[in-house]
Structure formats: C-alpha cells, structure tokens
Structure 1
Amino acid sequence: MYAAIRRYEGVTDPHEAGRLVNEGFVPLMRQIPGFVAYYWVDAGNGVMISTSVFEDETGAKESVSSAEDFVQDKLAALMPNPPQVMAGDVVAFA
C-alpha cells in the first residue's frame, strides 16, 4: 500500500471545507484505481490533514493531482495556502 498525506494551514472555515470535501472530493477519490481509504481531519487552529491510501503509488499520485485540482476549483477561498504533501510506502498498519 501507498499513502499520500496533505497538510493544509490557514483554513478559514473547516466545517464548510469538510462538507465540500465529503460531498465533492470523496466520490472522486473512490473512482481512482486502487483506492483503499481516505480521511479528512480537522486538526484545529485552521489546520486540516487529508490521508489517502491506495494499493500502489500510481493511485496515490493521482490522488495528489486530483486534490490539487479540487482545491483550486472548489476550495481556494477557504484554503488559501498550498499544502505540505508527503507520500510513501505504508510499512505498518492495523
């Protein structure tokens, strides 16, 4: 498995961002080949973190590209800063 993590800072309305992600982005994620799981976390203080898990690196990379497009098209007013993006092989899980 392969995971991509994105950390967004300066989110102006976490509740609305979560609603838009749940209604618009989650369905897109489910369509990416190799999809395993997706989590959108409100870490407080204007920080939100997404974690995408896929069977392979190809799916994870596609999720990062899809997230970039979705944020630019639907969330730019709520999430003005580019995310910190990290990705890698999942080496342990439960």
Structure 2
Amino acid sequence: MSLRINRHKEEAMYVVIRSYSGDGAAEVFDLIEQKQDEAEEVIAQVPGFVGYVAFRTEDGGTAATICRDKAGAEESSRVAARWVLENVSQTPEVPKVMQGETISAFVGEWSTD
C-alpha cells in the first residue's frame, strides 16, 4: 500500500463549517446518513463546490463544505439549511457557523500498487 497526497496550492479556497448541537441535532445527522445521495446532490450543485464532509460529535454533528470562493461557501449554508428544514421532523437549533479562506489544503489517497 502507498499513500499519495494531493495538495491544492494553486488558489485559495473557502471553507464553511456548520456545527449542530442540542434538540434536533442527532436527527439532522441521521437524515444525512439515510439520505446521503440526496444530501450530496444538493450540496454538490453549489457553484464552485470542491468537497464536503459530515461527522457525528458527542452533542450532535458537524458538516464542512469547501468551495472555490466565499459566495459558494455561503450558498452551501443556505441550501443546507433549506434541506434540513425540509427533511427534519423537529426544527434543530441554529448551527454554529465558522468560515474562512484556506491556508493549506490536501487529501490523501491510498493505493494498492
């Protein structure tokens, strides 16, 4: 096995992180898991979309979207909020949102070569 690192140095990207906790947070991440294809389609259509990750935390979960610019990142938050409200049975607390421009970005890819 070998690991190849793909670095993104050419241009800065923009990241938005949405952290959900409290009432309704667990349901949000249950739905993301159950309706993964639908959630993926909604976020991936955002202009400038680069990547997305969602994970559970002790008190709910966190989702992060990477886009080529701030406008795309902010649009991803709008479409994510709309999707959540259209799909949950209990309206969750407003997520804590953090965003900013990347200073370093890379991903690894394992191969069996």
Global fold match (TM > 0.5): yes
5 Å-filtered alignment, 1:1-94, equals 1-10=13-22, 11-13=25-27, 16-20=30-34, 22-44=36-58, 46-77=59-90, 80-94=92-106
Q: Decide whether aligned partners of structure 1 residues 20 and 82 sit closer, same or farther in structure 2, where only a CA change above 3 A counts.
A: farther
In the alignment, structure 1 segments of 5+ residues that lack a partner are none
Q: Decide whether aligned partners of structure 1 residues 51 and 15 sit closer, same or farther in structure 2, where only a CA change above 3 A counts.
A: closer
Q: Helix, strand or coil for the counterpart of 2:85? A: helix
Contact 2:67 2:73 in 1 (8 A): yes
Q: Helix, strand or coil for the counterpart of 1:40? A: strand
Determine which structure has more spread, i.e. the larger CA radius of gyration.
Answer: 2
- Give the structure 1 partner of residue 109 of structure 2: none
Identity %: 26
Letter in 1 for 2:94: P
What's the TM-score, normalizing by structure 2? 0.71
Q: Decide whether aligned partners of structure 1 residues 4 and 84 sit closer, same or farther in structure 2, where only a CA change above 3 A counts.
A: same
What's the TM-score, normalizing by structure 1? 0.84
Report how many residues are paired.
92
Give the superposed CA RMSD: 1.9
1:20 Cα deviation after fit: 4.2
Contact 1:14 1:42 in 2 (8 A): no
1:18 Cα deviation after fit: 2.8
